[in-house]
Amino acid sequence: MAGLMTEVECMNETLKDIERLEADLWEAADNLRANSKLTSSDYFMPVLGIIFLRHAANRFEAASRQIEEDRAAGRMPKRKVLPADYIRRRALWLPKTARYDWIMGKAATSGTDLTKLVTGAMTDIETKFEPLAGVLPKDYGIFEPTVLEDLMRLFNSEQITQATGDVFGRIYEYFLAKFSIQKAHDNGEFFTPSSLVETIVNVIEPDHGTVFDPASGSGGMFVQSSHFIEHAGGDTARKVVFYGQEKNRDTIRIAKMNLAVHGLEGKIAEAITYYQDEHTLVGKCDFVMANPPFNVDLVDAERIKTDPRLPFGLPGVTKGGGKNKGAAKKRKGTVSNGNYLWISYFWSYLNEQGRAGFVMSSQASSAGHGEKDVRKKIVEMGDVDVMISIRSNFFYTRSVPCELWFFDRAKPKKRRGKVLMLDARNIYRKVTRTINDFSPEQMRNLSAIVWLYRGQRDRFLKLIQDYFAAICREAAEVSNSLSDFECEFSAVDEVFANVRFDIEQGVVVASNAESVFLDAVEELSEAYQAYSDDRTELWSAIAKFRKRYESSPPGTNAKQHAARRAFDPIAERLRGLVKQVDQIFKLTSRTASVALSLRERESGEPDKDPHAEREDYTLDRRRLSRLVKDLDSARKAAVEQLKHAVYFHRQVVWLQDRFPEAKLEDVPGLVKLVDRAEIEAADWSLTPGRYVGVAPAEEDDDFDFETTLRDIHTELADLNDEATELAAKIQQNLEELGT
């Protein structure tokens, strides 16, 4: 059974907590960097080293507890504990001098230089664990002592010390991504965005044998393969062996640390893959994955012309000539574009049952001349399996679009002459103004299309079944979030009732503001009553739906369509309630503003009722402002929860509307299964957009206004940050000019 996550978990509180932890850690660490006057390129390896050190300590302590439990239960003989006992539990045996708590305690009690302690710890780990020899950073002398101490303390909080391996793996990858955005190393190209890596893994499903990445970078392909295997209940160390090649020595260090922080090992060689095959893996790999450099044009053709990894021949060699003779002479005898060298290499590394998935420049799928000749031969082999177009801005350091290519040497006979063309350029999630990615559900939905192509209808139906389970789970939480909102509203409403009483008692000056307040209270009361009525009806409908489907989510296509139809009106009510909750807060905020503008009647001003006993105005302004803020927080939480249930319903709708029979069919603008004759007629192009066409214009009754607005806010926030940073630089430059 394949290892794609079947439980829809992206919305649970654990992941939300991890995301907040990642962001908080990055912000704190980056502030320390800013205060230390270090550049990102100076800073990022030592920071990754500290994350590694903390993670190694956590794994060591967890493994120590497991060993004690195993010895007490008789599962392990009572002998001297060996480093191998820790390795079997995916942990490193750490000498005392390399344990995080010991380092922090030693620095605090003896005043020993923290720089020496951390550097010594790295050296001691390398001595005890040969695969990390020469890998770990030791340049901690670049830090001011207080900055290094603050950094060490940052990763020594209770939340961090109790974090599991998966959490640390995420933190490590998060920091890699953030450093990549800052172009901290080799222009940031050492890191492939995780959504592209996960999409590749989900399609080729690397769950056994030899896994090779000839352009391994930071090792993300290996890490994601491990996640895939473990989500399916497998043991990565027993299932696969990782091999990699990477030309940059520092990047190899990053990769080995990345593997170690996930409890993994891999054989990564320093090599230029254009010319070297250090592991001699031609024809031996079960899976090949890579994100190679695009459009390289200086590869020496003479050195590779007889390379066994080029069974389809060279894609084209520059002959020289042209007006710029100097440049032509320099480039003469080089491969005109290295893209098809990589493509040929990937194919040649596969065994007869192997699969490959890789990122490639969007230019390659329709390139002409010698590149087209190579592409034609590969298509005629019948091994091109899936092509996926990706929109621009998925990479952190370049904005170009790309395509994901997939080979399958073991395609069944009925599919050998066909290629699945999938245009995913309209599927994305905006992360920042300049960066896009896939949401977890978008990746699952793309995988579901591939499942249908492969005839795995049961997996498609299981995904929708999981979505219905998520709908029930998220809908069940709606009541609690709305109850919190209503509780906060009641507190504000009580204040408004007191103000109204003061008005009736003549404590507040008779004015136009008085009538405005009373009108606002009346409008708010009517809106809240309408909300209460709709909320009661909604909760009744949700309870009925959950009673029918919560314990037994629908598993057949017919039952899933029936459940979708049953939830359609509930989804509409949920969307309506979002608007009502927002409206109630808006009216409450406006009413509070009017209340805060009212003033107490001063002595000498006439009472409304001269016989009434006068009291003091009872409004506590600070308390009212605080209550409105609390209501806003409760509103946001309630709205978010309402959207969660609608969100998973939207995934069901997306899949069912495009594949109503739970079978693959052509969807204009998205997917088409093409045969070799069509590809030949299109000049052997493998560009999905050339085949799938354009989706017909249609009115979107379920337009996601909230997501669109969030994208606008994201872009505005980024622009504001850039403006602030630019203003600070201008100010600094002016001050320097003034001195």
For residue 190 the two structure tokens come to 């050492």
Residue 701 pLDDT > 80: no
- What is the spatial distance between Cα 595 and Cα 587, in angstroms, rounded to a whole number? 12
- What is the spatial distance between Cα 393 and Cα 389, in angstroms, rounded to a whole number? 13
Q: What separation in angstroms does the CA of 460 have from each of 447, 466, 559?
A: 9, 10, 14
First and final CA of the chain: distance in angstroms?
69
- What is the spatial distance between Cα 13 and Cα 331, in angstroms, rounded to a whole number? 56
Average pLDDT over residues 332-347: 92
* Predicted local distance difference test score (pLDDT) of residue 702: 47
Range scoring the smallest mean pLDDT among 28-32, 257-261, 372-376, 677-681: 28-32
Q: What is the DSSP string of 512-571?
A: HHHHHHHHHHHHHHHHHHHHHHHHHHHHHHHHHHHHHHSSS---SHHHHHHHHHHHHHHH
* Predicted local distance difference test score (pLDDT) of residue 612: 47
Residue 220 pLDDT > 60: yes
Q: What is the DSSP string of 639-686?
A: HHHHHHHHHHHHHHHHHHHH-TTSS---BTTTEEEEEHHHHHHTTT--
Report which residue type is found at 225: S
* Predicted local distance difference test score (pLDDT) of residue 483: 95
* Phi, psi angles (nearest 5°) of residue 111: 70, 15
Q: What is the DSSP string of 203-221?
A: HH---SEEEEETT-TTSHH
How do residues 404-449 score in pLDDT, each as one tens digit? 999 999 999 999 999 999 999 999 998 777 788 899 999 999 999 9
Task: Name the band, by pLDDT with cuts 50, 70 and 90, for residue 735.
Answer: low
Average pLDDT over residues 311-322: 78
**CB atoms < 10 A from the CB of 548, how many?**
14
Bridge partners (DSSP) of residue 355 are: 287, 408
* Predicted local distance difference test score (pLDDT) of residue 726: 67
* Phi, psi angles (nearest 5°) of residue 683: 60, 35
Give the rounded distance of the alpha carbon of 37 from its chain centre.
Answer: 30
For residue 663 the two structure tokens come to 């079978």
* Residue bearing the bigger pLDDT, 35 or 372: 372
How do residues 167-208 score in pLDDT, each as one tens digit? 777 787 778 777 776 654 444 455 678 889 999 999 999 999
* Predicted local distance difference test score (pLDDT) of residue 155: 87
Bridge partners (DSSP) of residue 361 are: 402
* Residue bearing the bigger pLDDT, 173 or 320: 173
Task: Name the band, by pLDDT with cuts 50, 70 and 90, for residue 600.
Answer: low
* Phi, psi angles (nearest 5°) of residue 184: -75, -20
* Predicted local distance difference test score (pLDDT) of residue 121: 94
Residue 226 pLDDT > 70: yes
* Predicted local distance difference test score (pLDDT) of residue 203: 98
* Predicted local distance difference test score (pLDDT) of residue 599: 65
Contacts of 112 (CB under 8 A, 6+ apart): 106
Give the rounded distance of the alpha carbon of 474 from its chain centre.
Answer: 21
Tell me whether strands 418-423 and 384-390 are parallel, antiparallel or unpaired: parallel
Element (H, E) at 429: strand 429-432
Helix axes 145-154, 114-128, angle to 10 degrees: 60
Q: Where are the alpha helices (DSSP H) in 362-476?
A: 369-381, 440-453, 457-476
Range scoring the smallest mean pLDDT among 202-216, 373-387, 640-654, 686-700: 686-700
Instruction: Using alpha carbons, select from 58, 47, 23, 268 the residue that is nearest to residue 170.
Output: 23
Task: Name the band, by pLDDT with cuts 50, 70 and 90, for residue 698.
Answer: low
Q: What is the DSSP string of 280-317?
A: --TTTEEEEEE-PPSS---EEHHHHTT-TT-TT--S-B
What residue has token string 């670049």? 142
Residue 601 pLDDT > 80: no
Bridge partners (DSSP) of residue 213 are: 244
**Dihedral angle computed from the Cα positions of residues 569, 574, 579 and 585, in that order, rounded to the nearest 10 degrees:** 150
**CB atoms < 10 A from the CB of 528, how many?**
20
Contact 173, 220 (CB under 8 A): yes
Residue 413 CB burial class (10 angstroms; 0-12, 13-18, ≥19): exposed
* Predicted local distance difference test score (pLDDT) of residue 204: 98
- What is the spatial distance between Cα 12 and Cα 478, in angstroms, rounded to a whole number? 14
Residue 331 pLDDT > 80: no
* Phi, psi angles (nearest 5°) of residue 361: -55, 140
* Predicted local distance difference test score (pLDDT) of residue 244: 97
* Predicted local distance difference test score (pLDDT) of residue 17: 65
Of the chain, the percentage scoring pLDDT greater than 90 comes to 55
- What is the spatial distance between Cα 416 and Cα 385, in angstroms, rounded to a whole number? 8
- What is the spatial distance between Cα 25 and Cα 48, in angstroms, rounded to a whole number? 12
Mean pLDDT of the chain: 85
Tell me whether strands 267-270 and 240-246 are parallel, antiparallel or unpaired: parallel
Range scoring the smallest mean pLDDT among 236-240, 280-284, 490-494: 236-240
* Residue bearing the bigger pLDDT, 280 or 74: 280
Task: Name the band, by pLDDT with cuts 50, 70 and 90, for residue 475.
Answer: very high
Tell me whether strands 402-408 and 350-361 are parallel, antiparallel or unpaired: antiparallel
Tell me whether strands 435-437 and 671-675 are parallel, antiparallel or unpaired: unpaired
Element (H, E) at 350: strand 350-361
Contact 210, 279 (CB under 8 A): no
Length of the chain: 739
How do residues 121-166 score in pLDDT, each as one tens digit? 999 999 988 889 999 999 898 888 888 888 888 888 888 887 766 6
How do residues 71-129 score in pLDDT, each as one tens digit? 888 888 888 888 888 888 878 899 999 999 999 988 888 777 899 999 999 999 999 88
How do residues 535-564 score in pLDDT, each as one tens digit? 999 999 999 999 999 999 999 999 999 999
